């Protein structure tokens, strides 16, 4: 998958951003996941894959809570910042 430099360039060029910046109650579509094979595989097993839509349930201090495919997941900020999304709606 991508890397740090590619993420910043891609996000600026396509108006995509990190999942960590999506506000509560908003929807977003996963574009890419940046990390090692194990992390990417783990997230994909939980339903987070490119093309899937997520709803941000909580995005305040501490881990954020998202809903993907009817399941709520808690993600740490570091992990959420490695998920590139585009806002939906």
Arithmetic mean of pLDDT over the chain = 87
| Tokens (6 digits) for 41 | 């595989």
Cα gap 76→88, rounded to integer Å: 22
Q: How many CB atoms lie within 10 A of CB 22?
A: 23
Which range among 11-15, 55-59, 67-71 shows the weakest confidence by mean pLDDT? 11-15
Residue 70 near residue 47, CB atoms below 8 Å: no
Helix (H) or strand (E) holding 82: none
Which has the higher per-residue pLDDT, 14 or 17? 17
pLDDT for the residue numbered 61: 86
- 15 pLDDT band (50/70/90 cuts)? confident
Residue 41 has pLDDT above 60, yes or no: yes
Please tell me the pTM assigned to this model. Answer: 0.81
Could you give all domains of the chain from N- to C-terminal order, each with its CATH number? Answer: 4-88 (2.30.30.90)
Residue 9 has pLDDT above 50, yes or no: no
């Amino acid at each position: 998958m991508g890397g740090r430099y590619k993420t910043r360039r891609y996000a600026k060029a396509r108006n995509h951003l990190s999942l960590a910046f999506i506000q509560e109650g908003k929807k977003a579509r996963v574009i890419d996941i940046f990390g090692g094979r194990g992390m990417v595989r783990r997230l994909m097993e939980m339903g987070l894959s490119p093309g899937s839509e997520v709803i941000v349930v909580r995005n305040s201090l501490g881990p954020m809570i998202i809903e993907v495919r009817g399941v709520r997941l808690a993600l740490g900020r570091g992990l959420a910042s490695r998920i590139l999304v585009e806002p939906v709606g």
